[in-house]
A and B are shown apart, each in its own frame.
Chain A
């Protein structure tokens, strides 16, 4: 089982699409790839598109919270979009939505970041 990551940018927003399963084994690679891209200083905000994320556990929560800390320390905004029901349930249970706004689709999520910048 693996995870595949697609990145694109829309002005100063980095959009990351996660496809597959996010667990302890795959979270590390995702963390490095996102940190690497954010380190290029072209981006300010981060959108995670979870449309094709089929599974996630607490390792995924940790990875998401870690990115949230980094992005918000630098004054950026981080939002989520297109979350599948099973992943949504875990996030809701964990109280993640108290910190991270979530949107129906990628476009709305990207413009939500734009409004804040």
Chain B
């Protein structure tokens, strides 16, 4: 019997207030839990959503209020998450990706956000235009899910 690949998606839109950081990571994690991820995979997803949303709040909108958009998609064992702001944008993306690079050291930032995203996800793409905004696109393949499918 031919089985259809499980597909689903969700979208969120909320203002760039710091209290929404926890809401965003919990919402994406609970959407993803329909794939039965391991605790470790769920923590990875929560962490990267927290990183990207926090960046939108602190750097994108510099604590002014703007909107943050999230779209999460499930396609079999593949999860993709897109997080967009219409804030300041990034001048030099390859500099921003460097471990320990931060444009705001006075705020006790460690400059590890992008490095964490790259470590916890299989793909991280940054689209950014100064003055227009930033979109972070991340992909993760759930290992537990693949194994489960093969076992069935």
- Contact residues of B: prevailing secondary structure: helix
The reply to whether B19 and A25 contact each other, CB–CB distance below 8 Å, is yes
Q: Mark A59-81, 1 if CB is under 8 A from B, else 0.
A: 10111011000000000000000
Name the contact of B22 in the complex, choosing from A21, A27, A58, A86 (C-beta under 8 A): A21
Compute how far the CA of A114 lies from the CA of B18 in the bound complex, rounded to whole angstroms: 38
B127 at the interface (CB under 8 A from A): no
The reply to whether A58 and B108 contact each other, CB–CB distance below 8 Å, is no
Binds A, one of B5-13, B111-119, B138-146: B111-119
Supply 11 A–B pairs (Cβ within 8 Å), ascending by A: A1-B22, A31-B108, A57-B47, A57-B113, A58-B112, A59-B54, A61-B112, A86-B43, A89-B43, A94-B110, A94-B112
The reply to whether A24 and B57 contact each other, CB–CB distance below 8 Å, is yes
The interface residues of chain B lying within 8 Å CB-to-CB of A25 are 18-19, 21-22
Name the contact of A23 in the complex, choosing from B40, B50, B115 (C-beta under 8 A): B50
B124 at the interface (CB under 8 A from A): no
Name the contact of B54 in the complex, choosing from A1, A24, A89 (C-beta under 8 A): A24
The reply to whether B116 and A93 contact each other, CB–CB distance below 8 Å, is yes
The reply to whether A94 and B43 contact each other, CB–CB distance below 8 Å, is no
The interface residues of chain B lying within 8 Å CB-to-CB of A24 are 18, 21, 50, 54, 57-58
Compute how far the CA of A31 lies from the CA of B109 in the bound complex, rounded to whole angstroms: 13
B26 at the interface (CB under 8 A from A): yes
